[in-house]
Amino acid sequence: MNVKYIDAHCHIQFEQYAEDDIELIERMREDGVAGIVVGVDYESSKKAIALAGKYEHLFASVGTHPNNMLDVRRPTSDVGRRTSNIRGLANNSKVVAIGECGL
């Protein structure tokens, strides 16, 4: 694939894109667009890795957006567990960045 552009922040693993995500991904490839699929929490980070694993022109970013980190319904100790889970995902060869970090 001849990459012309890199979309460094896409969320095509989100549910609202599920209906036409394959078409979108194929159009990206045809147009020379590589993409970094950005996770915003553990589950969406896993989906980003899974999606990136299916396509040579997609890569993943794993992380937790601050809006998803501090949930008052969860105990503080849960933050450490969630951070550890994200670190575990970062070892995947399709992961090229850490983030969503809300910046």
Which domains are assigned to the chain? 5-98 (3.20.20.140)
Report, as an integer, the average pLDDT of 54-80: 78
Quote the CA–CA distance of 25 and 57 in Å, as a whole number. 9
Contact 25, 58 (CB under 8 A): yes
Average pLDDT across the chain, whole number: 85
Q: Does position 103 have pLDDT exceeding 70, yes or no?
A: no
Quote the CA–CA distance of 7 and 81 in Å, as a whole number. 30
Buried b (16+ CB within 10 A) or exposed e, 3-24: eeeeeeebbbbeeeeeeeeeee
Ranking 12-21, 35-44, 45-54 by mean pLDDT, the lowest is: 12-21
pLDDT at 74: 63
Torsions phi, psi for 67 (to 5 deg): -65, -25
Q: Rg for the chain (alpha carbons), in Å?
A: 14
Quote the CA–CA distance of 4 and 66 in Å, as a whole number. 32
* pLDDT, tens only, 16-41: 888 888 898 899 999 999 998 888 88
State the pLDDT confidence band at 70, using cuts at 50, 70 and 90.
Answer: low
